[in-house]
Amino acid sequence: MPNDLILDEAELGKIDRFTRRPVTADEVYAFPLVLCDNAPDRDSERFSVRALERLAELFVGKTGIFDHDPKGENQTARIYECEVRSDETEHTACGEPYTYLYAKAYMMRTERSRDLITEIEGGIKKEVSVSCSIGKRICSICGSDREEHPCGHVKGRRYEGKLCCDILDEPGDAYEWSFVAVPAQPGAGVVKHYGSAPTPETEAEALKKSLAEERALNDRACDLLRREIIALSFMTRPIMAVEAVKALTDRMSFDELAALRGKLLEMTRTVPDELPDEQQLFHTAQSSPDPDPSYKI
């Protein structure tokens, strides 16, 4: 991949802020890259534009390494300029104009860096990933802070046509950026010219993988709830038949199972004069507005 940076006097002056002496165009190699963006990644997470603006400040001067392995011998390059750019003609899966963190990095031309420069120019070393601290993870559906107020919305799913993802906001620090084989964000990497979002096919595959993982997690959680419900059914009076409980719970959603569990817990704490039969209990669980929040995922 040819490099389109021209190391004129102005560009060299920007690099000189990080060197102990002025360098010449023959001594350094510079290349542009996209560090991260506001498109949903493979984990159904995305940076807010405000976070990208803050990261543009934090990543200036940060070193580039390999595979996030923080060894001094892995240091390869350093970012000397960083800015937020937008492409109003492209939109992310969340409907926002595609916005990304565009950076310029440099390295010294040495015998050790010669092969790496060749690989960058040839498009072999291309994909990158960032390491930073994030203050908030905000649900894109309801706006809740995931850490303080878990809402139960599942990343990768759509709610009334709107894609659910975690919005990464309020970055506290930027640590490093790395050359990696598979970045979390499909659009991150060394570029020549950058003006388009990741392809719909790439985003679709990432979302399919994330959705499959979330469904597997939900299935495991539902299975655990069903097992607990069967155990609780033995503590009620009269004892509910295991086959009847299985029949009632097989088609229940996670929230319905959580509601039924809550109802059974109440029944084990108190022994009323008249207990509802299984069918009545099933309808009560379906209509319960407040399932036990401790089981939300």
Mean pLDDT by 10 residues, the chain (297 residues): 73 96 95 94 92 96 92 90 94 91 96 93 91 92 89 90 92 92 79 47 61 78 83 71 79 85 77 49 49 42
Model confidence over 282-295: pLDDT tens digits? 555 545 444 444 43
pTM beyond 0.75: no
Residues across the chain: 297
Predicted confidence at residue 197, as pLDDT, reads: 47
CA 244 to CA 171: how far, in whole Å?
51
**Burial per residue of 145-178, b for 16 or more beta-carbon CB atoms within 10 angstroms, e otherwise:** eeeeeebbbbbbbeeeeebbbbbbbebeebbbbb
Predicted confidence at residue 210, as pLDDT, reads: 64
Predicted confidence at residue 21, as pLDDT, reads: 96
DSSP string, 39-83: S--TTSEEE-HHHHHHHHHHTTT-EEEETT---GGG--EEEEEEE
Task: Tell me how many degrees the CA angle 145-201-199 measures, rounded to the nearest 5.
Answer: 80
Tell me how far the alpha carbon of residue 101 is from its chain's centroid. Answer: 16
